[in-house]
Amino acid sequence: MRQLLPERFRPLLSATVIVSALGYFVDIYDLLLFGIVRVPSLQALGLEGQRLLDDGILLLDVQMIGLLLGGILWGVLGDKRGRRSVLFGSILLYSVANFANAFIIELAALLPGGVTAFQLYVVLRFLAGVGLAGELGAAVTLVSESLPKDLRGYGTAIVAGVGVSGAVVAATVGKYFSWQVAYMTGGILGFLLLATRATLLESRMFQALETQEVSRGDFFALFTNGDRFRRFFCSILIGVPLWFAIGILITLSPELSRELGIPGITAGESIKYAYAGLVVGDLASGLLSQYFRSRRRVVFAFQTLTLLLTFVYVGSRGASPTYFYGLCFCIGIAAGYWAVFITIAAEQFGTNLRATVATSAPNFVRASVVPLTLALQWLTHHTALGLLYSALAVGIGCTLLAYLALALLEESHGKALDFVEAT
């Protein structure tokens, strides 16, 4: 197939791009799996009623906190030890954690001190979150540094487009098999992927960096300089509306759809349709950013479409399940600027901080589900808005902040990446 492409585009089918895309596929499978099997797995532990929502949000928040801390850990290691080493360590950790998740009831019975299965669930979701944090940022950094600058947008679009389809597979496995089988499948896929990592080479930019006397992977350097902090914080904010759409509108779709009077909606089906849309959106946003030679304009358009569809979602009272799942698909397309967002973050910083930012920024965005869900719960319980309009208020707020952040970032399409940050 590579030979059928024009020579200029052949680097897009290199081992670096293909293996990175497969890695993100497994990463997304495991990342979204809890949202898909949340209800049956918690019911197996004896939970029911309101605890399915409250304890489910707790587990989701714990996983996201793990992503936040793991993003910092793997990002720093990516700039200090290399992008390739992060891809090995992170996948090993989250594969072990997810495989163990399939046996939490049996493992809890073997542990001393009266540890419950739910407590073990909390620990394993945290460890899985830490492991999952390293995959995408290191992959995008490696792909961005390995491809010619005029192909970067295509390369990261391929990684994201192939990767997010992992959620569709996770939803299908979660629908037709037990939650234990779904977790075991994720762990086994991760172990198989480890073998493919041996084919990857470290980026030449990082290899050149190792010969220079320059500070690498200094996470705190992002906070000691006003310009660097602005670039880092704004890079995070532009991605928050995307995760609002997935973390609240889609993951909590069973509860939100009940408020809308739509029967029979499951998180697994909502995630499957939303991530099918994300495949389309990520490919489209990457291609459009290349066509228009602008990352910022494309991100603004996708953010606006996400907000408009949030209004449509809240106004869908009494709709059919078919309509609702179609809306989930459309929301997935609108939220499909993940690859462009991470590419923007990577392109804002020098080689000595690029992995730190590209790995930590998306995980700060993922971890934003914690303040987003806290805001949702506070508005629901302490105002007259109710669950639906509280979700709308949260969506409007994070989108307005994202617009401001996007305006404060420079256009990075076609930017040369062979430079370092003076720290």
CATH number of the domain at 279, please: 1.20.1250.20
Helix (H) or strand (E) holding 147, with range, is none
How many domains in the chain? Answer: 1
Determine the structural domain holding residue 395 and report its residue range.
Answer: 14-199+224-407
Helix (H) or strand (E) holding 22, with range, is helix 15-44
Angle formed at CA 61 by CA 83 and CA 343, multiple of 5 degrees: 35
**H helix runs in 81-178, sequence order:** 83-101, 104-110, 117-132, 135-146, 152-176
Q: Is residue 332 part of a domain?
A: yes
Q: What is the pTM of this model?
A: 0.81
Q: What is the pLDDT of residue 180?
A: 94
Q: 332, 275 in Cβ contact below 8 A?
A: yes
Q: Is residue 416 part of a domain?
A: no
> Crossing angle of helices 117-132/83-101, nearest 10°?
160
Q: What is the pLDDT of residue 285?
A: 92
* Residue 361, phi then psi, degrees to nearest 5: -60, -50
Q: 193, 22 in Cβ contact below 8 A?
A: yes
Q: Which residues of the chain have pLDDT under 70?
A: 1-6, 423
Q: Is residue 217 part of a domain?
A: no
Q: Is residue 6 part of a domain?
A: no
Q: What is the pLDDT of residue 3?
A: 60
* Residue 79, phi then psi, degrees to nearest 5: -85, -25
Which is it for the CA torsion 137, 140, 143, 145, positive or negative?
Answer: negative
Q: What is the pLDDT of residue 265?
A: 93
Q: Is residue 87 part of a domain?
A: yes
d(CA 234, CA 401): 9
- The 3-state DSSP class for residue 203 equals coil
Q: Is residue 4 part of a domain?
A: no
- C-alpha dihedral (241, 87, 20, 142), degrees to nearest 10: 80
Q: What is the pLDDT of residue 423?
A: 67
Q: Is residue 412 part of a domain?
A: no
Q: Is residue 218 part of a domain?
A: no
Q: 30, 94 in Cβ contact below 8 A?
A: yes
Q: Tokens representing 198? A: 């041996």
* CB hemisphere CA count around 71 (13 angstroms): 23
Cα 311 versus chain centre, distance: 23
Nearest CA to 351 out of 5, 82, 20, 52 is that of 82
CB-count exposure of residue 98 (10 Å: 0-12, 13-18, 19+): buried
